Amino acid sequence: MTDNNQSLTAIFDKIWPGEADPNKINVGEYERIGSVIAGSVFFLYGVTRKGVIPKVLAPVGGYLLQRGLSGTCAIYEAFQVNTARQGGNADATVHANRAIKVKRAVTINKPAAELYRFWRNFENLPQIMDHLESVTVKDKDHSHWVAKGPAGTKVEWNAEIFREKENELIAWKSVEGATVPNAGTVQFTDLGQDRGTEVLVELDYEPPAGVIGAAFAKLFGEEPNIQVQEDLRHFKQKMEAGELPTTDGQPSGRES
Amino acid sequence: MRALCWFGKEDVRVETVPDPTILNPRDAIVKITTTAICGSDLHLYDGVIPTMEKGDILGHEFMGQIVEVGSDVKNLKTGDRVVVPFTIACGNCFFCRKGLWASCDNSNPNSWMLEKAYGYGGSALFGYSHMMGGYAGGQAEYARVPFADIGPIKVPDGLADEQVLFLSDIFPTGYQAAENAQIAQGDTVAIWGCGPVGQFAIQSAWMLGAGRVIAIDKVPERLELAATKGKAEIINSDMENVVEKLRSMTGGRGPDGCIDAVGLESTGHTPDALYDRVKMAMKLETDRPTALREVIQSCRKGGTVSIPGVYGGLLDKFPMGAAFGKGLTFKMGQTNMQNYLKPLLNRIVKGEIDPSFVITHRLGLEDAPAAYKTFRDKQDGCIKVVLKPQTATV
């Protein structure tokens, strides 16, 4: 991006004072300028002409104008797309501009060491993560993961631990060549005073068909935030209650 | 086995369904000897509780004999006679450890549904909709009890089923209601609703040191039971203006503690009650808080409002101004059952109370559909129905 672009969007920010929080901006610089130009044309055409097409174009233009000026797009927001944070490290495991980011926490009434031990043996994870079929630990730092993909497919990759602090943190990433490049950390924080341990998971991954893949996944109810939240709930249930509560297989009048 | 299943509004049937089996290591299977219909089951019968599915087995007040235990249940064995509390709790989470068993983090497999509606979800219940866990209930010959090492309480052989059955819900619920009213020695306590929970709240208010207990209802036989068994002063809300009557009965001050043992399907003849019926029929409102409005209006300044009556959704015309203006304290929620099982069983063993006094109907499981209607319509003097699942009809 150039200084010119930046000063232009800075002017936009002044015209449209609605979005004060720069972290909420999810539309890139060029795209904002494009949105403002296209929006202005559509809007002016729409309001000055008669007919069905102008009637449709006017609100579309209005939306594009607002999106360009404010730098925020509700549709991007809904699908967790962000074109404002382009670029980054080309060698990264997961490319920031294409990545789906998930961050979820849960508090578990058990000591950090016990939780760490369970998680550190990755082979335990399919017990609490519905979408994992199996994990095979190959050596101290390397493991092979098999996950259930959409529509009965399987996704496999190799992962390595690249940072670790006993009872506190595990960070892993997929090694080169993974179909779904991914990286994640889990942190265990003792809250003290018998308040349990906070478990914070941060996960980045590149879905198979980029942003579209995640959008589809969301439509089919496999939204990653919700999935991770349910995984963490299962982790908590497993560690605290010793089992996952279920009603699968109980009787009902539906069978008769 | 035979089990009472829900199929829709005012449509419950006894069906033949598969027997329950152990699904988790902490499960147990109970052969049910006595079960009951709860006032809160009537909300299901009336179709006002969301996330019910056709074929769901109802019932959350039951007791019987253990016939099978999972590998992790060490404190119970086949043949033990137990009462099962209606809330399901894991015993190990933050909330269970604090004694807030009805807020258990781990017992509800459908917690996400409640989180959507309430922010955070509470414990699972037996036979009370899928957002409450979707567990099959106990108006059946057998039931699977999850976390059986935490919930069920063993009862001595010397006591009849009918004397201990209500430890499963309504006795502890009435007791927690009285405890939540924060009764100080000599306080005046007013109780709306003289159904079974109201009756046990009356008994419990006396146990906790109330000086006067005033019971409010419009069903004559329920008021009579409150007066005779409960030794309460009574107000018939069909005959009198409750707020004015309470004012004059309490020397112009109002009751110190007020208990709403009515809940979301309250009825009345005042304009606001009519308005609620219309809004509820049009699905613009989920709960009808007629009694609760009266409770708030009647309570003395700085008093405590205790709510054991069930609410599920959103209230309209909630007199927040009156509650704020008088500095009221509100205490409410599902019963933290496991706190009360032992102490209340001890009171029964010592003969301080015989909870069977609320029973008006004793029937077989096959009679249950008709009993729901009788109970809901408050016909035939019906206050409490108990069912014998091992007997077809009585």
Q: Residue A249: list chain B partners with CB under 8 A.
A: 21, 23
Q: Residue A227: list chain B partners with CB under 8 A.
A: none
Do residue B51 and residue B101 come from a single domain? yes
Render pLDDT for A162-183 as a digit per residue (tens, 0 to 9): 999 999 999 999 998 887 788 9
Two structure tokens written together for A82: 């962000």
- How close B3 comes to chain A (CA, Å)? 8
pLDDT value, residue A15: 67
**Pairing mode, strands B28-37 and B385-388:** antiparallel
d(CA B369, CA B3): 11
> Which portions of chain B are predicted below pLDDT 50?
none
pLDDT value, residue B382: 95
Render pLDDT for B189-245 as a digit per residue (tens, 0 to 9): 999 999 999 999 999 999 999 999 999 999 999 999 999 999 999 999 999 999 999
Cβ-defined contact of B17 to A253 (cutoff 8 Å): yes
- Sheet (strand B2-8) strand order: B11-16, B2-8, B56-57
In a domain, B58, yes or no: yes
Is the interface score ipTM higher than 0.85? yes
CATH at B53: 3.90.180.10
Do residue B228 and residue B156 come from a single domain? no
pLDDT value, residue A38: 79
Do residue B308 and residue B340 come from a single domain? no
B56 to chain A: nearest residue by CA?
A252
In a domain, B91, yes or no: yes
A255 to chain B: nearest residue by CA?
B17
Render pLDDT for A68-77 as a digit per residue (tens, 0 to 9): 777 777 666 6
Residue A211 has pLDDT above 60, yes or no: no
Total structural domains within chain B: 2
B45: helix, strand or coil: helix
- How close B134 comes to chain A (CA, Å)? 7
pLDDT value, residue A9: 64
- Please report, as a single letter, which amino acid is at residue B351: G
d(CA B284, CA B288): 11
A232 to chain B: nearest residue by CA?
B106
Cβ-defined contact of A253 to B112 (cutoff 8 Å): no
Q: How many CA atoms lie within 13 A of B32 on its CB side?
A: 32
pTM for the whole structure:
0.81
pLDDT value, residue A75: 66
User: Which chain B residues touch A if contact means CB-CB below 8 Å?
Assistant: 1, 3, 5-7, 13, 15-21, 23-26, 53-57, 72, 90-94, 97, 105-109, 111-112, 124, 133-136, 140, 144, 146-147
Q: Residue A221: list chain B partners with CB under 8 A.
A: none
pLDDT value, residue A88: 42
pLDDT value, residue B310: 84
User: What is the average per-residue pLDDT within A189-211?
Assistant: 85
Domain boundaries, chain A: 3-79, 100-241
Domain ranges, residue B191? 174-332
Give CATH for domain A100-241.
3.30.530.20
- Give the closest of B26, B107, B112 to A242, CB-based: B26
Write down which residue in B317, B332, B347 finishes a domain: B332
In a domain, B393, yes or no: no
Q: Residue A253: list chain B partners with CB under 8 A.
A: 3, 5-7, 13, 15, 17, 54-57
Do residue B134 and residue B7 come from a single domain? yes
Higher pLDDT, A224 or A215: A224
Do residue B24 and residue B58 come from a single domain? yes
pLDDT value, residue A86: 43
Q: Residue A251: list chain B partners with CB under 8 A.
A: 1, 3, 17-20, 57, 136, 140
Least confident of A150-154, A229-233, B79-83, B269-273: B269-273
Which residues are within 8 A (CB) of B320 and not within 5 positions of it... i.e. 6 or more apart?
none
- How close A78 comes to chain B (CA, Å)? 17
Higher pLDDT, A42 or A235: A235
User: What is the average per-residue pLDDT within A69-87?
Assistant: 62
d(CA A166, CA A116): 8
Do residue B65 and residue B96 come from a single domain? yes
Do residue B358 and residue B253 come from a single domain? no
- What is chain A's Cα-based Rg? 23
In A22-178, the DSSP E strands lie at 100-108, 132-137, 142-148, 154-165, 169-174
Do residue B352 and residue B376 come from a single domain? yes
Helix extents (H) in chain B: 41-45, 94-97, 111-118, 161-164, 170-180, 196-207, 220-228, 242-249, 271-281, 290-298, 320-325, 341-349, 368-376
- Give the closest of A196, A226, A252 to B17, CB-based: A252
Do residue B179 and residue B326 come from a single domain? yes
Q: Are A242 and A232 in contact (CB under 8 A)?
A: no
B25 to chain A: nearest residue by CA?
A243
Least confident of A96-100, A112-116, B290-294: A96-100
Q: Are B387 and B371 in contact (CB under 8 A)?
A: yes
Two structure tokens written together for A39: 């929006």
Do residue B41 and residue B86 come from a single domain? yes
Residue B120 CB: number of other CB atoms within 10 A? 10
Q: How confident is the model at residue A159 (pLDDT cuts 50, 70, 90)?
A: very high
Do residue B62 and residue B200 come from a single domain? no
**pLDDT, mean over chain A:** 80
- How close A212 comes to chain B (CA, Å)? 26
Do residue B95 and residue B143 come from a single domain? yes
Q: How confident is the model at residue A4 (pLDDT cuts 50, 70, 90)?
A: low
CATH at B308: 3.40.50.720
Which residues are within 8 A (CB) of A3 and not within 5 positions of it... i.e. 6 or more apart?
none
A229 to chain B: nearest residue by CA?
B112
